């Protein structure tokens, strides 16, 4: 999903995992965040990071890196800087 910039497919996979009773892990979320970053969908990337925290997943450095990059690419510098705090 990440390499093909298929961010919708990545989000659908996360949804299907949940529907099938499988809790997506940090790696699954990171792949979706990365796909959103590459497609320049900073809101989706940020939403996935927030979602991770709500389902008690500890975001990794990669989670933050990709989300910060998505915010930067979307010219949302204030959000990128807040994630660095």
* Cα–Cα dist 52/4, whole Å: 23
* Cα–Cα dist 2/36, whole Å: 8
pLDDT at 3: 53
Residue/partner pairs of 12-21 with CB below 8 Å, 24 or more apart: 14/48
Say if residue 42's pLDDT is above 70.
yes
Say if residue 2's pLDDT is above 80.
no
Angle ∠(52,20,9) on CA atoms, nearest 5? 65
- The pTM score is 0.87
Q: Mean per-residue pLDDT for 13-19? A: 94
pLDDT at 1: 54
* Cα–Cα dist 81/72, whole Å: 9
């Amino acid at each position: 999903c990440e390499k093909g910039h298929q961010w919708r497919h990545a989000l659908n996979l996360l949804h299907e995992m949940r529907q099938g009773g499988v809790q997506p892990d940090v790696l699954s979320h990171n792949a979706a965040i990365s796909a959103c970053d590459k497609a320049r969908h900073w809101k989706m990337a940020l939403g996935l990071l927030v979602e991770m925290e709500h389902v008690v997943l500890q975001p990794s450095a990669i989670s933050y890196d990709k989300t910060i990059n998505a915010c930067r690419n979307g010219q949302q510098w204030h959000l990128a800087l807040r994630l660095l705090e």
